[in-house]
Structure 1
């Protein structure tokens, strides 16, 4: 079985991590693979470092369609992992004539135009990462199957206890409440800063690291300054060893407006860090309010503030959430389950 994975995103986000989990798992099952990605970007570098063959794309969809049309003839299946990757995978289909699979990771409706309908009608199988994404696609007449995003079962073995201690010491606080994600409108770290402002009135020694990069960095810095809490909101940028940073948190907070699933939540849960998240898209399929975490309305700083304080002050609740979340993720969202599901799907599509 020969698979070409297509991902044209810039930078390293949850989708790229999921793709990497998949290619590593498929490698252990002796699946031949290549990754079509932007030359020189994060995914390309990670593939080169780990010994995965790449098909070098340019970021220009017309040129990349030609490249994939030619290189795609090697494969049995072309698996697109993002929207633009989906575009070039289908557009190049008349040339490579291979089966195309698309994994949709976002929770907003697809465009209602002829080109989009044509694209989906020429896709052999669509995968949704949650029921929420599946239902959104269904409203547009697109059928899909669900294969959930995942997290490594042995993730705790990757933790460097000394580095975690070092991170906590560097942040210089007894209470660390953190957010992980690209600095975009979707992730809405402005809400995180609003909640931080309220929390600091009750817990003065709290600190609020934001881990990630993005176009809104300067606006977010200015917003924290306008609240007079810029010394408490720490912009740490992208971190290769993100797991150590998540493990260093007392509470993990996700403030997204839209979210297909939010794979960083899975990491926090497996690392035994309690989670507070906004009720965005597929998040509610992981964060079961009061059982695996606390779920709050979107754009509601007061509700977010109260949920974080509740976790910090109610030790019984905190322990219960940690135990339940770890068990829930361990039973339903592991990499092995995800890889097995895709391996089976490839076989079905080829039949």
Structure 2
């Protein structure tokens, strides 16, 4: 039975990782007096984490790649839409976006779609890219609104003629600033990881996959280690390229200086140990870890690609380097390490910016305005 005043939203989501963290922050800050949030998630999700921030959770099998295995998922999603009877369906990421919109055909529920980064902006062969663009164009009319997480994402949708411009809404990502650890965290974590006081920590947070450029990170680290021997290197994350990254570190002679944590519950605690924070993505719809670095007051070196320059302005609140360029990346890291005054100015600028621009409360508020708008639409 539907409460007369609450708006019921069915969130449909397939890929975990960054989307999972985004969704948990958003749900926590959506006003529970006005909204009833249901979550329909793939089995990549740990539903325990949604206790207390969701009114109901449902788990089904969903697959990342497109195949005939999607048919049972589609049937289940359709059944859940009918059973749940939401006011709004909110589909997160490309695969869930496709399944949710197809499942909603003939049910005519208001549907919002957030790709969390367009699949066609990935580095892939031109044929695959054209297919991704075509799929998005075909499915676009089935969404009432499409949420872009950066201005770059909106421009990209327009230049690829994905949908009508009136469908696009930009709601930039944000982070939960209440969860920034205190300064003591740094020393506790350094001890736990076995770092010595005088060692300099160069770190990155991200999936060990081609997109995030962990190979560029390792190649940069080798060059930094040649110049500044008391550096240590920390990768917070895991992924399909883990073994090849370990092999590359061995080949570069820095395997003994490198720690890979695997997936962790509290990435911010690990960021607290960084002296320099890196993100060498080859493509990036937003880069949620960047505001986290900024909030943790870590000097940033990141690639000048896609949405990253919207967050990191070169030489103002961080340094930008070309994609796939370990030499430029290492030079930027060394430059920051050698200039303490400049480093502290950059960090302070970034800290002020994150408080102003990237608070999850703003993201929740902008979503509430969007929900009100779509409910009033004919």
TM-score between both structures, scaled by the size of structure 2: 0.87
Matching of residue 138 in structure 1 with residue 149 in structure 2: no
Q: CA deviation at 1:104?
A: 2.3
State how far apart, in whole Å, the 2-side matches of 1:251 and 1:309 are.
10
1:18 shift after superposition: 1.0
Gaps of 5+ in 2: 1-6, 63-68, 122-128
> Hey, which bits of structure 1, 4+ residues long, moved more than 6 A?
none
Structure 1 portions without partners, runs of 5+: none
Separation in 1 of the partners of 2:231 and 2:27? 39
Deviation sequence 1:143-192 (CA, Å, 0-9, x none): 32210010123233xx2655432321224242011010011110010000
Pairwise mapping of residues 56-71 of structure 1 onto structure 2 (< 5 A)?
Answer: 56-59=59-62, 60-71=69-80
1:128 lines up with 2:148 in the alignment: yes
The residue aligned with 2:48 is: 45
Match of 2:190 among 160, 164, 168: 168
Using the size of structure 1 for normalisation, the TM-score is: 0.93
Check conservation: 2:27, 2:53, Cα contact below 8 A.
no
Superposed, 1:1-351 pairs within 5 Å as: 1-9=7-15, 11=16, 13-39=17-43, 41-48=44-51, 52-59=55-62, 60-73=69-82, 74-107=85-118, 108-109=120-121, 111-112=130-131, 115-141=135-161, 142=163, 143=165, 144-156=168-180, 159=181, 162-169=184-191, 170-173=193-196, 174-351=199-376
Q: 1:48-103, CA deviations, whole angstroms, 9 ceiling, x for partnerless residues? A: 47555212221153222222212213211111111111011111112542111111
1:27 offset after TM fit, Å? 4.3
Paired with 2:147 and 2:250, the residues of 1 have a C-alpha distance of 42
Deviations 1:5-55 (A, max 9, x none): 11111x4x222111111111114453101111013x334332247555212
**1 CA distance for matches of 2:295 and 2:53?**
24
| Partner SS for 1:154 | helix
Q: Distance in 1 between matches of 2:223 and 2:86?
A: 54
